[in-house]
Amino acid sequence: MKKTRLEAFSDGVLAIIITIMVLEIKVPHGEQFSDLKELIPVFLSYALSFIYIGIYWNNHHHMVSTVHQVTGGILWANLHLLFWLSLIPFATGWVGENHFGAAPMALYGVVLLMAGIAYYILQSLIIKNEGKDSLLAKAIGKDMKGKVSPFLYLAAIVVSWVNPVVSGIIYCIAAFIWLIPDKRIERSIRQSGRDVEE
Amino acid sequence: MKKTRLEAFSDGVLAIIITIMVLEIKVPHGEQFSDLKELIPVFLSYALSFIYIGIYWNNHHHMVSTVHQVTGGILWANLHLLFWLSLIPFATGWVGENHFGAAPMALYGVVLLMAGIAYYILQSLIIKNEGKDSLLAKAIGKDMKGKVSPFLYLAAIVVSWVNPVVSGIIYCIAAFIWLIPDKRIERSIRQSGRDVEE
Amino acid sequence: MKKTRLEAFSDGVLAIIITIMVLEIKVPHGEQFSDLKELIPVFLSYALSFIYIGIYWNNHHHMVSTVHQVTGGILWANLHLLFWLSLIPFATGWVGENHFGAAPMALYGVVLLMAGIAYYILQSLIIKNEGKDSLLAKAIGKDMKGKVSPFLYLAAIVVSWVNPVVSGIIYCIAAFIWLIPDKRIERSIRQSGRDVEE
Amino acid sequence: MKKTRLEAFSDGVLAIIITIMVLEIKVPHGEQFSDLKELIPVFLSYALSFIYIGIYWNNHHHMVSTVHQVTGGILWANLHLLFWLSLIPFATGWVGENHFGAAPMALYGVVLLMAGIAYYILQSLIIKNEGKDSLLAKAIGKDMKGKVSPFLYLAAIVVSWVNPVVSGIIYCIAAFIWLIPDKRIERSIRQSGRDVEE
């Protein structure tokens, strides 16, 4: 029952984060299509962030579905994750307003890195709570994605000072890796043959 | 169970989209009724977009109710649909601020067209997944509405360069066609005599 | 099942409406308590609108709990109600910015009146659908509140041109009347001895 | 069933409050990291308020889980709590914009104090309704946290006129006390051996 409300609250926050980002795309005063030109970086950063929040919602969804008991620690680790994700609209807005400047691109990476760490903490807490033989532990396995992404974010942060565009490409690659849904968990859930969701 | 969360997240995003549009109706500084005059186009475009989001919510609701299993593909096709719908407040704001200018009216149609395509992709994925004998496949049938609307949007986009007002009327007609709820699905659900919703 | 999603969507929209109103209370640049003085009308109109949305949520909650089947008509009557309620933040902002000017106070009444009519339409549709012997029909009874409020709103609209403060007092009185929860429905539900909520 | 909708609405409002606060962190026009310097107080006040809303969500969650019947009084006491919490983004924005000025810091305490009182009223109503032998009554016990916090807020309000930084430290301490989840309720729920959540 607790889990239901954890999901509902997280869904609410993620739905709002993904939607208020669009408020950063300020309506231009001119009425020509050329007036939209300056909005292209805003639009691109919006699209990328939309995908990132979508990825987090998707994975969060899979991960929480394996949880049997929500502890205080899990609640706060979840809020910690939502905190960093809530800063994505700000970082996105800064990136878009400054046409992929070095500092905004680096900050974007920092926020993604912190969100990645927060996700890892939440995942570890759930596994610790559910046991090493739990569905999630088996499903995650070596967790290659989770281990590779922080290094990609770090690389993008460093690179942003040399060439912010390359940094942007790295963020796109990191998103692409995650776009493939976590089939391992889906498969494990099916194999386990148990109704794990309540 | 997954479906529940897909619905909850979609409901959340659609509820936010439909509501933040009202933030584009900026409070006028004057305190006369005449100060509201310039807000009339903003109000009219708000009302039309409200109806469009309402239509999408309504149809989304009917469509998802026929789904038995949510796959990764369906999740992302759904997010893709929400992405285009999330741009409606921006397009609405641009239309309203520029009193139905040509470019804003055309952009409005582009966003509707992309949302329509995204809806079609989601629908096709669900039918592919559920089978050609599925409830949705039967209910959709020839899908006249879905096939006609893109052409209406395309027509409105082209016409907007000649006469934006005619373009606006076409958007109203396209909305009106959809306003009639998809009784085919409702009927099919009833006829099927099965509890399709969990 | 449909009902659940109708409630979820309405809850979402009402939660957003009640919360985004606070964005109209703009943070003052000064850092003295005296800088808050000019925000007093904004705060008062916010508080009144918060109560009104609370009343609508409360009554909507009771009313929908008696529904057995959601038709397309009910869906759209519900969206129609949400449309007018979504304009309350705008009307509230205008009232607050103009320190209870005549036109803003009248507009506030117009929005309340339209929302009241939309509520009445929704209620009538539900009763028509559920039958005259339905729980809601019995519970509503003579529906004194529903019949008195439109006249109060109309009176306030007219009075606003003479004395906007008196108009504000009428809105407070109309809210106060509704603040008393619809015990009739609660009682009827209990007496009916049936589990009306699914 | 009623409880579900009370939770859903509260979750929605809390999710929106926690997320729209981020809109107060205005995107800087410059593109240097140094441009973020002036945002540090905004960020810190955002983080503190995020934690406070998280605490309220967490405790609200535990408290409502013990409720068996939602009365009209509980509905309104809950809305009263949400009203004060909805003012936290405003108070946070004022604190952040004025770099921890005296008046903003005091107002922040006033809002926290009012929210604390509203929480106490809601809690008392639930206990009154559920009985002195109810789960919540036993779980709360002496309610040390609830009794200490108002005095901390009061102290912080007074101190803010002397030294706003000390006032800020007190708010952090008060948050820290609450950060520890209400294990008493969790334990009581487990001991009671009953499925209290429907």
Residue D32 included in any domain: no
Rounded to the nearest angstrom, the minimum Cα separation between D43 and chain A is 10
Rounded to the nearest angstrom, the minimum Cα separation between C161 and chain D is 31
Residue D71 included in any domain: yes
pLDDT of residue A181: 55
Token code pair at residue A5 = 């409300």
pLDDT of residue A171: 94
Rounded to the nearest angstrom, the minimum Cα separation between D158 and chain C is 14
Which residue, among B50, B52, B61, has the nearest Cα to C71 in the 3D structure? B61
Q: What is the pLDDT of residues B61-81, one digit of tens each?
A: 888 888 888 888 898 999 999
Rounded to the nearest angstrom, the minimum Cα separation between A67 and chain B is 13
Domain count, chain A: 1
The alpha carbon torsion through C9, C11, C15, C17 (nearest 10 deg) reads: 60
Interface of C with D in 148-167 (CB under 8 A): none
D9 touches chain A (CB under 8 A): no
Residue of D nearest to C39 (CA): D90
Rounded to the nearest angstrom, the minimum Cα separation between D184 and chain A is 12
Q: What is the pLDDT of residues C159-197, one digit of tens each?
A: 999 999 999 999 999 998 888 655 555 565 555 544 433
Which residue, among B84, B79, B73, has the nearest Cα to B124 in the 3D structure? B73
Q: Which amino acid is at A144?
A: M
Res B39 pLDDT > 60: yes
Residue of B nearest to A32 (CA): B103
**Residue B182 belongs to what domain range?**
3-24+41-197
D40 touches chain A (CB under 8 A): no
Put simply, the answer to whether A103 touches D50 (Cβ < 8 Å) is: no
Best residue in B71, B85, B94, B108 for a mutation probing chain A (most A CBs within 10 Å): B94
Where is average pLDDT lowest: A23-27, A87-91, C154-158?
A23-27
Residue of C nearest to D23 (CA): C23
Put simply, the answer to whether D22 touches A82 (Cβ < 8 Å) is: no
Place D183 in a pLDDT band, splitting at 50, 70 and 90.
low
Place D187 in a pLDDT band, splitting at 50, 70 and 90.
low
Q: What is the pLDDT of residues B158-192, one digit of tens each?
A: 999 999 999 999 999 999 888 865 555 556 555 55
Predicted ipTM?
Answer: 0.85
Best residue in B23, B38, B86 for a mutation probing chain A (most A CBs within 10 Å): B86
Residue D35 included in any domain: no
Measure the CA angle with vertex B47, ends C99 and C54; round to 5°.
Answer: 55
User: Is this model's pTM higher than 0.95 or not?
Assistant: no
Best residue in C19, C49, C79, C198 for a mutation probing chain B (most B CBs within 10 Å): C79
Residues in A closer than 8 angstroms to B17, CB to CB, are 19
Put simply, the answer to whether B15 touches C9 (Cβ < 8 Å) is: yes
Rounded to the nearest angstrom, the minimum Cα separation between B167 and chain C is 24
Residue B32 included in any domain: no
Distance (Å, whole) CA B67 – CA B62: 10
**Are the CB atoms for B16 and A15 separated by under 8 Å?**
yes
Q: What is the pLDDT of residues D49-108, one digit of tens each?
A: 999 999 999 889 888 888 888 888 898 999 999 999 999 999 999 998 888 889 999 999
Residue D31 included in any domain: no
What is the percentage of chain D residues whose pLDDT exceeds 70? 87
Instruction: Render chain C in DSSP notation, one character per residue.
Output: -HHHHHHHHHHHHHHHHHHHGGGGSPPPSS-SGGGGGGGHHHHHHHHHHHHHHHHHHHHHHHHHHT-S---HHHHHHHHHHHHHHHTHHHHHHHHHHTTS-HHHHHHHHHHHHHHHHHHHHHHHHHHHHH-TTSHHHHHHTT-HHHHHHHHHHHHHHHHHTT-HHHHHHHHHHHHHHHHS--HHHHHHHHHHTS----
Res D138 pLDDT > 80: no
Neighbors of chain D with 3 or more C-beta pairs under 8 Å? A, C
Put simply, the answer to whether D186 touches A72 (Cβ < 8 Å) is: yes
Res D24 pLDDT > 80: yes
A89 touches chain D (CB under 8 A): yes
Token code pair at residue A101 = 């400047």
Residue B31 included in any domain: no
Count of other CB atoms within 10 angstroms of residue B181: 18
A9 touches chain B (CB under 8 A): no
Q: Which of A9, A16, A97 sits opposite D27 (nearest CB)?
A: A97
Residue D146 included in any domain: yes
Put simply, the answer to whether A25 touches B103 (Cβ < 8 Å) is: no
D1 touches chain C (CB under 8 A): yes
Q: What is the pLDDT of residues B97-136, one digit of tens each?
A: 888 889 999 999 999 999 999 999 999 898 888 877 777 7
